[in-house]
Amino acid sequence: MRGLSPHYKNEYPGWGRRGPGRSRLTFFSIMALMMLLLTIIHLLSSVSAAPPVRQNQPCNSIDNGYQCFTQVSQLWGQYSPYFSLERESTISLDVPSGCEITFAQVLSRHGSRYPTESKSVAYAKLIKVIKSNGTSFTGKYAFLKSYNYTLGADDLTTFGEKQMIDSGAKFYSRYKALAKKITPFIRASGSDRVIVSAEKFIEGFQSAKRGDGHSRGDAATVNVVIPEGDGFNNTLDSGTCTVFENDDTSSAIKDNFIALITPPIRKRLEADLPGVKLTGSQVIYLMDMCSFDTVATTTDGSELSPFCNLFSEAEWVQYDYLQSLDKYYGHGAGSSLGPAQGIGFTNELIARLTQSSVHDHTNTNQTLDSNPATFPLDTTLYADFSHDNNMISVFFAMGLYNGTVPLSKNSVESIAEMDGYAASWAVPFGARAYFEMMQCRHEHKPLVRVLINDRVVPLHGCDVDQLGRCKLDDWVRGLSFARSGGNWKSCFA
Ligand SMILES: *[C@@H]1O[C@H](CO)[C@@H](O)[C@H](O)[C@H]1NC(C)=O
Ligand SMILES: *[C@@H]1O[C@H](CO)[C@@H](O)[C@H](O)[C@H]1NC(C)=O
Ligand SMILES: *[C@@H]1O[C@H](CO)[C@@H](O)[C@H](O)[C@H]1NC(C)=O
Ligand SMILES: *[C@@H]1O[C@H](CO)[C@@H](O)[C@H](O)[C@H]1NC(C)=O
Ligand SMILES: *[C@@H]1O[C@H](CO)[C@@H](O)[C@H](O)[C@H]1NC(C)=O
């Protein structure tokens, strides 16, 4: 089974506790209790194994995100639509009692999108060839005969927009104590889907705020758009680390893993689709289509694309790992310059948390960051909108997955084995990391905590407590990789 050990919220009061009453229980009443417990366990497990969706059940909520087809949709790597990891978090995500949030920063990925331009062309071409080569399309493949590829490219889908509205509303409600009084400072990286994501987030945030009876004060707006592309220093979409941009070692790792997992899938598809001959990457393309077709065709994501049924759950587990592997060796600790590109954002966050100017010589734009109009230091709510690859770099620059040992390049590891790291857990569509600072009774120093998609990620490099927190100054001290500029110089070696 994938994932960390399940975390049941319902405890049976008194169970396992020894008291005077308990010792008087007869053998038979213990047996009866055991039977009852077994029945409950049986009921619980049959509930979770059954297809979770019925037409009239909300499976896509503001709080929990997309949970319509949990068995597969959480196994699509970075193409999984956002889902809350609250149940997977071993630490409660509630604000600890006696504490008050004094600062919150969200770093968000854009919502569900169409395939990127080059992928969209490749998928369209593959489907066309399958339709012309194939001599018969039966059973679960029947839809292919009349399937016409009509997906757009690069932009958010309608479902993606809705995810971001939900994300803004959720951010408002979690940080309400601050959010009702303060207008967040908002930046977006300069691609359309990221800017629109920020705007939709604001729409959800404002509407939750109005619904809560707080309509006064400035409306939130996108304060800064940082241009993407050659020559721009951009902490939300790094592209200036030249050596990294010209490096291709991670794609060999990916190709090798594709060659390991796809042969049996390819054989089955070719047997089921007479006339069709597929390569390993084309098998992966057909798996990608499950997510892209799903997030493009329904506005609430309540229907699964017919592409999804062509693969088994075990195959989705392999696919999910492939994506985790690709991110780890492409942008995370497995890449020598992956984390370097998260340094700039880390130093910006340190500046915001400590209300002191930005010290960075990597990918920050010093013109923007030295100007209070484009980089204020005196507010307590921030929202930044970015991309999956950039967020992976940031998480690794902060050492958030320093408990993860190098990923196996030739066998699937469970998310527990990866200490909670996975592309689907870290950077799904609409992903959000919350960096929060809190002031607690009996502790005069502020504490910091990080939640990634509702999972408390215990901090590394500092004296972490049982709730995953460190004292701010201790955490900042431990972020020496970023503060020292890390190995950014090797970008130009
Ligand atoms: C795809 O296009 C063809 C040709 O225009 C059309 O006959 C078919 O109905 C379309 N399929 C669907 C599912 O709309
Ligand atoms: C930095 O930001 C300023 C202001 O937006 C812009 O004019 C300039 O081109 C940027 N420089 C770099 C290197 O990104
Ligand atoms: C389609 O058929 C051509 C010609 O035999 C072949 O080269 C190509 O690989 C086939 N593609 C698929 C996806 O079946
Ligand atoms: C952009 O980053 C480089 C370091 O990579 C730095 O030398 C340059 O001054 C930066 N430009 C701005 C405007 O911050
Ligand atoms: C995480 O590990 C890297 C590599 O060993 C190290 O440079 C960095 O300081 C660590 N970060 C934290 C916060 O512990």
Task: Return the pLDDT at 71.
Answer: 80
Task: Return the pLDDT at 2.
Answer: 33
Tokens representing 10 are 């319902």
Closest CA to 198 of 238, 228, 156, 231: 156
Task: Return the pLDDT at 57.
Answer: 54
**163 sits in which H/E element:** helix 158-174
Cβ atoms 348, 435 nearer than 8 A = no
Nearest ligand, measured from the Cα of 129: 3
| CB-ligand 3 contact for 90 (6 Å cutoff) | no
Task: Return the pLDDT at 385.
Answer: 98
Task: Return the pLDDT at 422.
Answer: 98
Show the ligand 2 pocket: residues with CB < 6 angstroms: 232-233, 365, 367-368
Closest CA to 437 of 429, 446, 445: 446
Give the integer Cα–Cα distance in Å for 57 and 73.
17
Q: How does pLDDT run across 291-315, given as a tens digit for each residue?
A: 999 999 988 778 899 999 999 999 9
7, 42, 110, 444: the active-site residue: 110
> Which residue's CA lies nearest to atom 5 of ligand 5?
402
110 is an active site residue: yes
Nearest ligand, measured from the Cα of 490: 4
Give the integer Cα–Cα distance in Å for 232 and 363.
8
Give the integer Cα–Cα distance in Å for 20 and 158.
60
Q: How does pLDDT run across 133-157, given as a tens digit for each residue?
A: 999 999 999 999 999 999 999 999 9
Task: Return the pLDDT at 215.
Answer: 77
Task: Return the pLDDT at 129.
Answer: 98
Give the integer Cα–Cα distance in Å for 228 and 235.
10
Domain borders along the chain are 6-49, 68-114+154-248+325-492
Buried b (16+ CB within 10 A) or exposed e, 299-337: eebbebbbbbebbeeebbbbbbbbbbbbbbbbbbbbbeb
Task: Return the pLDDT at 70.
Answer: 84
pTM of this prediction? 0.90
Domain 68-114+154-248+325-492 has CATH 3.50.50.60: no
Low-confidence ranges of the chain (pLDDT < 70): 1-57
**292 sits in which H/E element:** helix 280-297
Which residues make beta-bridge pairs with 105? 382, 435
DSSP 412-424: ---TTTTTT--HH
